[in-house]
Amino acid sequence: EYINSFYFNKLEFTRFSSSVGKFVGFTELGVKNAANWNKDASLLSVWRAQKETYCQHNIQNWYNNMLTKS
């Protein structure tokens, strides 16, 4: 799962989660930002592609490193 959280003053206000597939807001500003960002289909497709680009590309490296550290 790919998660990217946005914080201001140590308070999470918006999060993108690949399992949900969209932005979720946790504060008044975060809800407004999430609603605006979720309207943009091209922006959502970029964020959804991050799971394949970042996570699945590196999973074997992380898995091997964790197994050798035990």
What is the pLDDT tens value at each position of the chain, 70 positions in all? 889 999 999 999 999 998 999 999 999 999 999 999 999 999 999 998 888 777 777 777 777 777 776 5
Does CATH number 3.40.1190.20 belong to domain 3-68? no
For Cα atoms 36, 39, 43, give the angle at the middle one, nearest 5 degrees: 95
For 33, residues 6+ apart whose C-beta sits below 8 A from its C-beta are 6, 13, 14, 23, 25
pTM recorded for the entire structure: 0.75
